[in-house]
Amino acid sequence: MPEFRKDPVVGRWVIVSAERGTLPSDYATKKDKGEGWFCPFCMGNESMTPPEIFAFRKEGTEPDSPGWNIRVVPNKFPLFSSQPHRGMEREREGIFDKMSGVGKHEIIIESPDHDKELTDLPLTTLKKILFVYKMRTEELSKDPRFRYVVIFKNRGREAGASLEHSYSQIIALPIVPKGILEELNGGKRYHRDHDRCIFCDMVEQECQSGLRIIEENEDFITFAPFAARFPFETWIMPKVHMSNYRMIQQHQYQTLAILLSSTLKKLDIALSNPPYNLVFHSAPILGEDLPYFHWHIEIIPRVSKMVGFGWGTGFYFNPTPPEESAACLRGVSVT
């Protein structure tokens, strides 16, 4: 049974699980698995995943059969137990705290076609994927055991993807991740002092200076953050205040899809299809419309090895100033 463990000093939760059965030898042999293997996410292989939760599919086709466009399935190797009626046992082990690893882990297969990347998909499909993110977030938010839903995508093995076929992931957690708590606390502090949302102020300042803007449209801006930890770190943020991704407006699927697609294409061109992590930072499930938090997407291309003292000490060295990465990406034409 996987469990959540809390670091007693800094309060960070970690999921510790042996259920995936990794042995030292799994780490030692780091050979590339090669291509040409059977892909459980391809059309026709539906039986290789757990039964689908949702799919956009042709009328008249059966669940878990071909004919779909986007498919949502439970992760076959979930990070935690998702037993429907299981509660959360909290326990103490001396000075340490832990609780049972209840959570939900879903996979969004973005296309039936093995070779299509997110950026190869038509805008209508991308809009549907963004809608699925919202729909699944809403659904998972109804479970009273959960406090946080995170949407993310790892592209490329170096970024943690286990399969080549393009997919995103949604995880529902019984805790709020420490990094999000810090953003909430920072936002709260600023709001208390200034009675304004720090992210709204950030959007305003970035729009005014233009220095770090990569692209924008009526609803969203793409920019390189002032204190970027990584080369070409790129954020996408709604221009109007909105604390939770669930609050996205119908017409914004279109404007977000356009900007997301274009941003990812620019990164692909500038950095030759880098591996990347894309994470939605959104408010916790409870708390409704927080005046001090503002959802956004953080995209981190995995182009540089982190230097050692970033690990664990939370200090980063970034050899590419965000003004330079923004200028570079602004200049990339995606036609």
Residues within window 173-192 making contact with a copy of itself, judged by CB under 8 A: 173, 177-180, 182-183, 186-187, 190
Stretch that binds a copy of itself, among 41-49, 84-92, 158-166, 213-221 (CB under 8 A): 158-166
CB within 8 Å of 325: residues ≥ 6 apart: 224, 228, 231, 232, 233, 234
Residue 216 has which token pair?
Answer: 């924008």
Residue 210 within binding range of a copy of itself, rule CB under 8 A: no
Interacting span for a copy of itself (CB under 8 A) from 36-44, 93-101, 107-115, 116-124: 93-101
Q: Name the CA radius of gyration of the chain, rounded.
A: 20
Contact with a copy of itself (CB under 8 A) among 111, 243, 244, 277: 277
Count of residues in contact with a copy of itself, rule CB under 8 A: 90
Q: Please state, in angstroms and rounded to a whole number, the distance separating the CA atoms of residues 43 and 279.
A: 26
Member of 109, 172, 213, 300 binding a copy of itself (CB under 8 A) = 300
By beta-carbon proximity to a copy of itself, the closer residue of 134 and 157 is 157
Encoded tokens for 257: 């899809």
Question: In Å, how far are 225, 271, 321 from 267, measured between CA atoms?
Answer: 15, 6, 16
**15 vs 1: CA distance, rounded Å:** 11
Q: Does 333 bind a copy of itself (CB under 8 A)?
A: no
Pick the binder of a copy of itself from 217, 226, 247, 334 (CB under 8 A): 226
Rounded-to-integer distance, Cα 48 and Cα 65, Å: 11
Stretch that binds a copy of itself, among 65-73, 214-222, 226-234, 243-251 (CB under 8 A): 226-234
Q: How many CB atoms lie within 10 A of CB 222?
A: 26
- Residue 231 and residue 328 in contact, taking contact as beta carbons nearer than 8 Å: no
Interacting span for a copy of itself (CB under 8 A) from 40-48, 110-118, 120-128, 194-202 = 194-202
Residue 17 binds to a copy of itself (criterion: CB under 8 A)? yes
Should residue 320 be labelled a site residue for a copy of itself when binding is judged by CB under 8 A?
yes
- Which residues have a Cβ under 8 Å from the Cβ of 192 and sit 6 or more positions away? none
By the rule CB under 8 A, 14 interacts with a copy of itself: yes
Window 111-150: residues binding a copy of itself (CB under 8 A): 150
In angstroms, the CA 229 to CA 72 distance is 32
DSSP 146-160: --EEEEEEEESGGGT
Joined tokens for residue 195: 């009675």
289 binds a copy of itself (CB under 8 A): no
CA dihedral 287, 291, 297, 301 (to 10 degrees): -110
The CB-of-28 to a copy of itself minimum distance in angstroms stands at 4
Work out which of 104, 153, 246, 265 binds a copy of itself, going by CB under 8 A: 153
Site for a copy of itself in 24-83 (CB under 8 A): 24, 27-28, 30, 79
Does residue 225 belong to the site contacting a copy of itself (CB under 8 A)? yes
What sign does the dihedral 150-156-159-165 (CA atoms) show? positive
Based on CB atoms, which residue is closest to a copy of itself, 46 or 215?
215
Chosen residue from 236, 271, 283, 285 binding a copy of itself by CB under 8 A:
271
The residue within the footprint of a copy of itself, chosen from 31, 37, 313, 333 (CB under 8 A), is 313
